[in-house]
Chain A
Amino acid sequence: MQTPTLFALLLLLVLVAYGTGFSRAIATARSRGGVRSLASLPNYYGVHTALWCGLPALVILGLWMLFDDAIIRTLVLGGVADKPETISGQNLLYAQIQNLAAGNLIGATTPQIQAAADHLVSLRQSGRWMQTTITLILAAGLGVYTLLRISPELRAREKVEKVLRIILLACACAAIFTTVGILMSVLFESLRFFQSVPVTEFLFGLHWSPQMALRSDQVGSSGAFGAVPLFTGTLMVSAIAMFVAVPVGLMSAIYLAEYAGNKVRAFAKPLIEILAGVPTVVYGFFAALTVAPFVREVAQSMGMEASSESALAAGLVMGVMIIPFVSSLSDDVINAVPQSLRDGALGLGSTKSETVRKVVIPAALPGIVGGVLLAVSRAIGETMIVVMAAGLAANLTANPLESVTTVTVQIVTLLVGDQEFDSPKTLAAFALGLMLFISTLILNFIALHVVKKYREQYD
């Protein structure tokens, strides 16, 4: 049976379960003096039955659909006598078998592959049957069982609420699963990468050229995976971005919070916040087509040589992107500084700027630092601007007019396109991803902690 049909059938069963649960509750109550004798309202009995009918079946069905391909693959490949050693070889073989089974004949086949393909087809067919029967029997069985247990004493509402609570908890745990998922996916692939490239070479090597030849007899077959140029490139672009974003963002937050009248605030604040809503790909386009040529022209007019994909252009535009981020975070913390402190300083005869510089900013400093750290983590992880406006060449340079590459750029270039998943080249992307994840995680953790402590201080 096709999956959509199965889902529809399951839904039908669930509806039936609700209806029968509902009416059975009323029926059992009739002998005891009507609906009032029920422990819960009749619709809770309906929901109770429906939940028991649908949920376990749905869970089983979901797990089945997640894992059946992997299981079938193992079974099919297990049946092939002399299969290749390497994972990529096995992938190729399995793709051949799949194509043959689907009827898209490509290339010549051997009897062995033909047999495997037949095996695959039969496994899939029986799998589908088992799936359908198990799901439906489970649903119907549990539904009937629950139905039989309905009695006026059954506290259906409490049971339903318990299930709902578990569902809510499961949703809340989605965040944890995501973190674990991220960690697992980057960690495992990174470990595989570090089996072929030593960690020390990756962390301290000065040369990055991940282009590996497909055949081992080609020239330059061994790629170099020293990530230092990527780290320095990332740091340079981020530093330029922060150099723009922190002063501008902070000063505009101060101006809006302390100086501007209502009218200016109502006009300027949303306008600057538009910058936060512009997608990064738009900034990338702007950086590559407008800012980079402009930077280059200015540099040339001053007698300097600038690359057409300079770190400066990417950093500047990234800085503009981060301005609203810094300014809204600073705005929050500046507004959290109690007015009484400002009054105290003004009452002593401070000018406004003295109040801001000597009282408000020192008081808000932890919050501002936290905000800046979050902004740094954002700059490090920003991808599209650098992909489009910074270069691909891993230069180890301190000149912002030259082109540099960053961690995120390399992740994208290594993974975009049809790559063999198991080559060191693609695995390197996961190692870079691990670095990115760890560094931003640490930054975020410190930043959020500092901001939280800061808020508690004035709450």
Chain B
Amino acid sequence: MSTMTLNAGEAVPAQKEATQPVAEQTEVKSRAANPNSQVDGTVGSPFCDDAKLRMRNVNVFYGESQAIHDVSLDIGRNQVVAMIGPSGCGKSTFLRCLNRMNDTIEGCRVEGELSLDGEAIYGPKVDVVPLRARVGMVFQKPNPFPKSIYDNVAYGPKIHGIASRRAELDEIVENSLRRAGLWNEVKDRLDKPGTGLSGGQQQRLCIARAIAVSPEVILMDEPCSALDPIATARIEELIDELRENYTIAIVTHSMQQAARVSQRTAYFHLGKLVEVNDTETVFTNPEHDLTEAYITGRFG
């Protein structure tokens, strides 16, 4: 614990961080690694040229308390961005802003600019229904509906009226299950309840359910936290395959997972975005002391 406060005394006076990508960040390393220390801005490269999702100065409030402080981040096309950080750091809250799932929580307020392909997500005329079809979500705990496997996957296409014929629907279901790598395991029992599958299978079913409506972005909120290591490995493989067609934002508790599946990694701390960089950079040569302290396991 003593290392955490090692250089607290000699902390460099607060330095205004630029919110644009800045190459030179020489002074930053000398910052205090105290988990309660103030973060004044994001270091690293939070922005990219071909951004699918663009977030600027996002603030999120639950009633009076602020959960997210002034976060700016881009998520590139067909990229996997991992969001890591200690629990309660706001990474899940941030993720839920991207398809407006926070709307369902009473008293939750989102400020800032968020856009998907240049269209505002929180615009006054935006309809959340097609938005959520474009930005799908996979949740922490596998949550298949208490329906058959087939109906679970067909649910989205049915409510959106994507398939015009039964055969088309069958095709969508099969394709989605194939992509989720579940087809061979369940093709003989499509009429059995989805809740009867194992945890890992359930989560893949949820992924199949999400991709059945052809989303552009998939948000994953700690998708493996309830799974065993083998099922986790299977999902991680799947994420890598899905990257070809989808943009993926994944919140994870496991740094190894972030290192394995993502191209870029964002580190959140107490509702603030501390550092964004290529995954390799973050895990081998973090710019910010807090990031380093976190990835070396000094707090979590």
Question: Which A residues fall within an 8 A CB radius of B?
Answer: 261-262, 338, 340-351, 354, 358-359, 362-363
Contacts and interface: CB of A to CB of B under 8 A. Distances in A.
Contact of B139 (A261, A343, A354, A359): A343
B137 interface: yes
Nearest to A363: B146
A358 B155 contact: yes
B106 interface: yes
Contacts, number: 66
B116 to A, nearest CB: 14
B156 A349 contact: yes
B155 A347 contact: no
A261 B213 CA distance: 31
Contact of B156 (A261, A262, A348): A348
B159 interface: yes
A177 to B, nearest CB: 41
B60 to A, nearest CB: 17
Given A261-B106, A343-B101, A348 B139 contact: no
A358 B160 CA distance: 13
B206 interface: yes
Contacts of B133: 348-349
Nearest to A343: B139
Interface in B186-242: 206, 209-210, 213
B143 A354 contact: no
B137 to A, nearest CB: 4
A351 B104 CA distance: 11
Contacts of A354: 159
B143 A340 contact: yes
Contacts of B139: 340, 343-344, 347
B290 to A, nearest CB: 30
B22 interface: no
Contacts of B104: 342-343, 346
Interface string B125-141: 00011111100110101
Contact of B132 (A261, A346, A362): A346
A301 B128 CA distance: 49
A348 B210 CA distance: 6
Nearest to A457: B146
A454 to B, nearest CB: 11
Nearest to A458: B146
Contact of B145 (A341, A346, A349): A341
A264 B199 CA distance: 39
A359 B145 contact: yes
B292 to A, nearest CB: 34
10 contacts: A341-B146, A347-B132, A348-B209, A348-B213, A349-B133, A349-B156, A349-B160, A349-B213, A362-B147, A363-B145
